[in-house]
Amino acid sequence: MTLSCSTTPLQNFKADAIVLFILQDAKAFASQAKSLKSMFPNLQPVFDSGDFTGKALQAVTGYVGATTRRVILVGLGESANISAETLRRAAATATKRAASLTCSHVGYVLPTVKGLDAGVVAKAISEGAVLSQYGYVKYKTTGNKEFVTKFTVLADEAQAKLARKGTTEATAIIEGVNEARDLANAPNCEIYPTALGKRAVELGKKYGFKTTVLNKKQIEALGMGGLLGVNQGSVRPPSFIIMEYNGGKKGEQPIVLVGKGVTFDTGGISLKPAAGMSDMKSDMHGAASVIGTMMSVAKLGIKRNVVALVPSTENMPSGTAVVPGDILKFMNGLTAEIDNTDAEGRLILADALCYAARYKPEVVIDLATLTGAIVIALGNTTTGMMGTDTKTMKKLSTSGASTSEYVCELPLYEEYEELISSDYADVKNSGGRPAGSITAALFLKKFVSYPWVHLDIAGTGIAPKATHYSPKGATGVGVRLLTEAIQNW
């Protein structure tokens, strides 16, 4: 994939297609139509027909007999309603149209949008265009793999400086998102705990953060009984991945990210039903999101200290696996009774949250495909947010709105706690079906000794069907949300 910005005049620009963004407002529409008809006379009948109105996401292909033969007109709707998300979706719509016409190089004429500077517009268009062309096709040896691979944002001299900044930022973010998608879409036979660690090391070297991977012996020495307990049914050993990026001042308290890294969740002895179980190869999406975020943050050179921690294991049933009734002891000495071996995410996160205290963090944000209950509550559109740090939750809400990676807060009232009280240990790992996402978060809260936010991405991380610029499967959610929040911290 190459994404760049160019000031080549439209008439001389050579690609497989040019995308033109059209406003619906009567005056703007008429003036865009007029100048396009004079530049590309073949567009005359398109405009004269009145079929194309510039309505948001309306798209039409025209053949113009110029240096670049095809133009794709795509509507942005009324200018009062255009947001960054409108631009991402319009760019995605046009790019998918271009891909269906087997175009591989597409140019995007940067539109002028009231209230958004050229950098924001270029960034949004780039994100929508490039992210829409992601596909997890590495294991497909036959069939159609046609994607747009070269993206050029066409700016005029006045826009060029900001537009370049926009495409450069977008490149850093897209690389993080698509790596997160790749990691989370990868099957367990490829991305198992030590393989995930190896990948994090490679990415750290390439992007400029330090990665340390703790092995089973080191995890034992730390007393991470939750991570070891979940792992005990597996043949493959666990790993604990530590990524450190020091973009901030020495001694500045870091933002610590924690990502659930269950590379496959069978449910363990409390085995999941067979239907749809393959989705659980993505049960390390939290890990994928924090790794992708480290890439983007490092590539952007953000001036902050950021750490990411990933406890990683499979959750397997076997003769050595944990069983309901077993009691595990975590790194901080607390104990938990296993009520359901399928509530494994909170067990491994508990140890990671204990470990995070070492950094004296400004805040810890964990991301996890933690509960099916969050999918029932918020569907696949909104991430469930719970925590103790209202300031950070506000930052995430703001970045959620501008990235369209929405978050919504659920309460952690202490009344819910009795659902996870245990007769035999300090806490029980499942509270049953009522308020399942909240009891999972309350379990985590017992291991937290600093400002903290938990993001349950079970619904938003694994998409049952394609959306505007995200195909079915792993979405890469969290990377844009966190990177933008950290950028604006």
Does 471 participate in binding Zn ion (rule CB under 5 A)?
A: no
Which residues 332-361 are close enough to bind Zn ion by CB under 5 A?
345
Phi-psi category of 372—alpha, beta or left, where left has phi over 0 and alpha has psi -120 to 50?
Answer: alpha
Which residues 269-308 are close enough to bind ligand BES by CB under 6 A?
283
Which residues 395-454 are close enough to bind ligand BES by CB under 6 A?
430, 436
Does 369 participate in binding ligand BES (rule CB under 6 A)?
A: yes
Does 283 participate in binding Zn ion (rule CB under 5 A)?
A: yes
Token pair for 150? 């070269």
Does 223 participate in binding ligand BES (rule CB under 6 A)?
A: no
How many residues in the shown chain lie near Zn ion by CB under 5 A?
4
- List the one residue from 42, 149, 340, 487 that touches ligand BES (CB under 6 A): 340
Does 373 participate in binding ligand BES (rule CB under 6 A)?
A: yes
Query: Residue 373 binds which entry of Mn ion, Zn ion, ligand BES, none, with Cβ cut-offs from 5 to 8 Å by kind?
Result: ligand BES
Which residues 254-273 are close enough to bind Mn ion by CB under 5 A?
265
Selected catalytic residue, list 165, 272, 329, 446: 272
- List the one residue from 458, 474, 477, 485 that touches ligand BES (CB under 6 A): 458
- CA 368 vs. chain centroid, Å, equals 12
Nearer to ligand BES, 203 or 288 (CB): 288
Selected catalytic residue, list 123, 181, 346, 480: 346
Query: Residue 430 binds which entry of Mn ion, Zn ion, ligand BES, none, with Cβ cut-offs from 5 to 8 Å by kind?
Result: ligand BES
Nearer to ligand BES, 1 or 277 (CB): 277
The stretch near ligand BES (CB under 6 A) out of 15-23, 158-166, 190-198, 363-371 is 363-371
Active-site annotation holds for 329: no
Nearer to Mn ion, 54 or 225 (CB): 225
Does 371 participate in binding ligand BES (rule CB under 6 A)?
A: yes
Does 339 participate in binding Mn ion (rule CB under 5 A)?
A: no
Does 366 participate in binding Zn ion (rule CB under 5 A)?
A: no
Contact map string, positions 89 to 128, toward Mn ion, x by CB under 5 A: ----------------------------------------
Nearer to ligand BES, 54 or 471 (CB): 471
Active-site annotation holds for 272: yes
Active site amino acids: 272, 346
Site of interaction with ligand BES (CB under 6 A): 265, 283, 340, 342-345, 369-373, 375, 430, 436, 458, 462
